[in-house]
Structure 1
């Protein structure tokens, strides 16, 4: 098992039980306790857990630590791909899109069809890389006009600051596809980075409608800086894990009332994914043309 996979599993166990023990994890993973301690030290340094004697515990729900792109990309991978695939249903020919930084928006960018005459403006280095001619995706020979907003690079591979804000001036887009650090009924959508929150707010203001792509683990997380209230979200696409979150598993009901359109993409069963041998894994596979994961319809969405 790769280090990123172990760390993802550690975070999953923390999410489920609140604490983990080094000895137990070493037994489950079939590695030494020293290896597990190194994984926990790495996650502690990223602010994703709190290292304690003999194991680790969850941090508080408030977060001011901005995790790196590579670290985030190893988390909730299947959910992000299902969400990204469902987001394709919102596209129309000749649209102008603003796409923010984030690992889920990166998955979305990788799937963008090249034959719709799309124009994309982004402050994400990774999204821009996914859109270069010849990048993996439907129709691998370009076809998407891409505008990269300049600025200061963040740990999440986004570009922020005065240069980015200046580049945003006079831009207008049909849709803004946004990844977020946290989504909360009271705090709205948030970021751990003040400058990135500023850029994201400008993207919303420059767009006809906001589409937030956020897996269920983001629910209840509150970052340092607010971006916008939930009422500003035209469409929120999340995964089926949202149906078990919140007090009394009420997160889906809360979001249904708070946003314009809630869409829930079904993620393949974890047991089925775990049964695949490592050699059979396809981290960059794509759905056949015209296929998207099954989704549950909420509030104005025809399944």
Structure 2
């Protein structure tokens, strides 16, 4: 297991509990206690957790916790690959797409970049630095146009704030693929970052169809700021680890609820981010 995967697991435990013990995490992940201590030191240095004797403590409430892009890149990776493969099926030549920031939308960009020449006259609007860089590098002989919103950079490598909102107010997209921190049946789509929530709300207003890409860990999670109600969502794409109860509940709130099958084949090899 790579360091980002271990650190994401520690953060997930801290979302559930106020504190974790080094010995418990090491046993669960089948690694040495020294390895977990180094992971906790890294989280402490990055301001994501507080190192204490024998373990770590949560720094912030669940609703305000925003792990960075690098830390989330390998979290639930197989689920993200399956979700991205399903999302790719919705794209048609000539479309104007919006891709918000996040690691799941990044995996969609990875899939898209592998077959970009099949989608002539495609325009992609994004506030994700990672997505923009990847698609620009993979343009080749395709006629894909990449538009970046501008704005203030977040830990998730997204550009947010007034500049991004103003840019989106003047644009119209056919499809918006959005990654979220949480989905709740009553509070809708949420984010731990206030500016990101406002920017994603602008993405919702500027698109004809909103497609939410969310792995099974995102359901019943309420973050600090509301992006939009579930009534604004046309399609949710998740992985097959979503429980039957979750599927039934959320399928009743959105027109299309798609579950990517186990072992879904990706258009590319799994892409792990490196520093």
Q: With the length of structure 2 as denominator, give the TM-score of the two structures.
A: 0.84
- Using the TM superposition, name which of 108-117 and 13-22 deviates more: 13-22
Q: Please say if 1:252 is aligned against 2:256.
A: no
Name the structure 1 match of 2:127: 123
Q: Which has the higher contact order (CA 8 A, sep 6+)?
A: 2
Change (3 A) 1:186 1:155: same
The corresponding residue for 2:197 is 197
Match of 1:110 in 2: 110
More displaced 10-residue stretch of structure 1: 111-120 or 155-164: 111-120
Tell me, what secondary structure is at the counterpart of 1:255?
A: helix
Q: Equivalents in 2 of 1:11, 1:44: separation in Å? A: 11
Equivalent pair of 2:105/2:213 in contact (CA under 8 Å): yes
SS at match of 1:223: coil
Q: Which residue of 1 aligns with 2:270?
A: 283
- After superposition, the Cα gap between the structure-2 partners of 1:88 and 1:17, relative to the gap in structure 1 and judged at 3 Å, is same
In structure 2, relative to structure 1, the CA distance for the partners of 1:256 and 1:143 (3 Å cut) is same
Deviation at 1:4, TM superposition (A): 1.7
SS at match of 1:66: coil
Instruction: Indicate whether 1:134 and 2:142 are aligned.
Output: no
- Whole-angstrom CA distance in 1 between matches of 2:47 and 2:235: 30
Counterparts of 2:146 and 2:198, CA distance in 1: 22
State the 1:235 CA deviation: 0.4
- Per-residue CA distance 1:32-69 (angstroms, 9 max, x = gap): 42321232354467787786764468899841122110
Give the TM-score normalised by structure 1: 0.77
- Contact 1:47 1:65 (8 Å CA) reproduced: no
Is 1:155 the counterpart of 2:159? The answer is no
Give the distance between the partners of 1:7 and 1:258, measured in 2 at CA: 34
182-191 or 4-13, which deviates more: 4-13
Cα contact 2:5–2:71 (8 A) shared by 1:
no
Question: Residue 190 of structure 2: SS of its match in structure 1?
Answer: strand
> 1:249-294 CA deviation, whole Å, 9 max, x = no partner?
621111010111000112439xxxxxxxxxxxx5339xxxxxxxxx
Q: Find the aligned partners of 1:265 and 1:15 in 2 and give their Cα distance.
A: 26
SS at match of 1:90: coil
Could you give the per-residue CA deviations for residues 169-215 of structure 1, whole angstroms, max 9, x where no partner exists? Answer: 32111111101011111111001111111111111111111000011
Q: Is the 8 A contact 1:46 1:65 kept in 2?
A: no
1:182–1:159: structure 2 CA closer, same or farther, 3 Å change rule? same
Q: Which runs of 5+ in 2 are unaligned?
A: none
Q: In the superposition, relative to structure 1, how do residues 254 and 29 fare at CA in structure 2: closer, same or farther (>3 Å)? A: closer
Match in the other structure for 1:261 = 256
Q: Distance in 2 between matches of 1:11 and 1:196?
A: 21
Aligned to 1:208: 208
- Structure 2 matches for 1:164-243, cutoff 5 A? 164-243=164-243
Contact in 2 for aligned 1:46/1:66 (Cα 8 Å): no
Q: Label 1:185 to 1:103 Cα distance change in 2 as closer, same or farther (>3 A).
A: same
- Contact kept, 8 Å, 1:233 with 1:259, in 2: the verdict is yes
* Runs of 5+ unmatched residues, structure 1: 244-248, 270-281, 286-303
